[in-house]
Amino acid sequence: MNVFAGKDGVRPSTYRIIRNVVVVWLTLVILSGFLLSIPRIAILEHTARNLYFHVPMWFTMMAAFIVSAYHSLRHLQSGDLRRDVRALQAARVGALFGILGLITGIVWARFTWYVGTNVWWNFDPKQTLAAVQLLIYGAYFTLRSAIDDSEKRARIAAVYNLFAVVTVPFLLYVLPRQMESLHPGAEGNPAFSEITHPVMRLVFYPAVIGFIGLFWVLYTQRVRMAQMVLRSNEMEEAEL
Amino acid sequence: MIIHSLQEDTTSLGESSPYDSVWSGTEVPVQQREGLEKVMLQEDKLYVVLAVVLIIWMGIIFLLFRTDRKIDRLERNMTERISEKSSRS
């Protein structure tokens, strides 16, 4: 019997089913993202299809950070190091999606907002605050690496993580809407503007679900690996 | 806001523009596209991008499955080691 199977985690057979569904689901999202014909509007043209790929990166990052904060909270309640492992791995995969969101946003902006100006980065409030958000989580990883004692590290990192997640809605929603930004959703506008054709929602929402599913698969993989490391460390300590 | 439709692309057949793949001023082949090209060159060659993205996605899926197999194997090995140890003690 596998001592890891189902123990504080998903059963391997359930994991495989969800993984396979996510893989097929995202393949269909990519196919329909390219194949569904959309109205062509000036400036955006085919890049409007980035809605299906760029925006879900941020939704996925937020979902990941919420998962991370949840496990940090549970760690503070229980002192269980496996909760700390989950908080760390969720934050790591979340930060990956955030970095992808930032880079894809830079590329998209370069050829729409900044076309003809040769500008890649112009400190647009939405982009700048998203970058600040990633730095806040960067500090979470730095903080962890600065503490050697694993229980102390888990506790301090969990407290920091709870403060970090509180900044997410402010940096990504509240503040950008108070400022002048080229990004949809600025100055109190809804992020889905009136030029976003309703047909695009057919692909957009499944894309969000699919990428959150992909986060879950990557996160579960990393948690399984990290728990093996934790277990082997425990075994070594028991031998000493 | 009004949704503008783009102007019909008139450069693809019969005449070339400076950034066309054909020298400007030369005769552009106007024969009918056939087979795979007939599909792939539609929509400003968007389907070529789709093919590229799908190939990358397949590579990522391959890595995902391989990593899962590796984790399964490691978990099995560790489980064996743990049960050996507990039976010895």
Determine the residue type at A16: R
The predicted pLDDT at position A195 comes to 64
The structure tokens listed for A215 are 């986060």
In a domain, A171, yes or no: yes
Q: What is the pLDDT of residues A126-177, one digit of tens each?
A: 899 999 999 999 999 999 999 999 999 999 999 999 999 999 998 988 888 7
Residue A29 CB neighbour total at 10 angstroms: 22
Query: Which value does ipTM take for this structure?
Result: 0.74
Angstroms from A229 CA to nearest CA on chain B: 10
The predicted pLDDT at position A5 comes to 61
The predicted pLDDT at position A187 comes to 61
DSSP label at residue A171: I
* Of A5, A148, A97, the residue nearest B82 (C-alpha): A5
**A153-A158-A159-A163 Cα dihedral, nearest 10 degrees:** 130
CA distances from B24 to A114, B10, B15, B28, B29 (A): 29, 14, 8, 9, 12
Give me the sign of the Cα torsion angle B8, B12, B14, B15.
Answer: positive
Angstroms from A220 CA to nearest CA on chain B: 10
Of A7-21, A45-59, B60-74, where does mean pLDDT reach its minimum?
A7-21
CB A87 within 8 A of CB A100: no
Residue found by looking up tokens 């946003």 in the block: A105
CB A181 within 8 A of CB A105: no
Domain boundaries, chain B: 41-88
- pLDDT category of residue B1 using cuts at 50, 70 and 90: low
CB A193 within 8 A of CB B40: no
Q: Is the pLDDT of residue A186 over 80?
A: no
Total number of domains constituting chain A: 1
Q: Is the pLDDT of residue B11 over 80?
A: no
Nearest-by-Cβ selection for B53 from A30, A39, A224: A30
Angstroms from A88 CA to nearest CA on chain B: 19
Contact list in B for residue A218 (CB cut-off 8 A) is 64
In a domain, A67, yes or no: yes
B38 CA to centre of own chain: 18
Q: What is the pLDDT of residues A99-121, one digit of tens each?
A: 999 999 999 999 988 888 888 99
CA gap B80, A236 in Å, rounded? 16
Q: Is the pLDDT of residue B2 over 90?
A: no
* Of A63, A31, A2, A51, the residue nearest A184 (C-alpha): A51
* Of A193, A150, A200, A164, the residue nearest A69 (C-alpha): A164
Angstroms from B64 CA to nearest CA on chain A: 8
The predicted pLDDT at position A23 comes to 97
The predicted pLDDT at position B15 comes to 55
Q: What is the pLDDT of residues A73-98, one digit of tens each?
A: 999 999 999 999 999 999 999 999 99
CA gap A233, A150 in Å, rounded? 11
Instruction: Bin A141: left if φ > 0, else alpha if -120 < ψ < 50, else beta.
Output: alpha
The residue with greater pLDDT, B26 or B80, is B80
The predicted pLDDT at position B79 comes to 87
Q: Is the pLDDT of residue B4 over 70?
A: no
- pLDDT category of residue A184 using cuts at 50, 70 and 90: confident
- pLDDT category of residue A6 using cuts at 50, 70 and 90: low
CA distances from A226 to A60, A100, A108, B70, B82 (A): 21, 23, 35, 14, 17
In a domain, A2, yes or no: no
The structure tokens listed for A190 are 């809804």
The predicted pLDDT at position A199 comes to 85
Range of the domain at A119: 12-239
The predicted pLDDT at position B89 comes to 65
CA gap A210, A102 in Å, rounded? 19
Q: Which of B39, B40, B43, B71 to mutate to test the interface with A (most CBs of A within 10 A)?
A: B71
CA gap A90, B67 in Å, rounded? 18
CB A165 within 8 A of CB A69: yes
Angle between helices A150-169 and A54-78 (to 10 degrees): 140
Q: Which of A1, A2, A107 to mutate to test the interface with B (most CBs of B within 10 A)?
A: A2
The structure tokens listed for A219 are 């996160």
Residue found by looking up tokens 């989580």 in the block: A137
CB A79 within 8 A of CB A63: no
Q: What is the pLDDT of residues A208-238, one digit of tens each?
A: 999 999 999 999 999 999 988 888 888 888 8
Nearest-by-Cβ selection for A224 from B6, B49, B71: B71
User: Which residues does B1 contact at the CB level (< 8 Å), separation at least 6?
Assistant: A193, A194, A195
Q: Average of pLDDT values for A38-45?
A: 82
CA gap A114, A103 in Å, rounded? 15
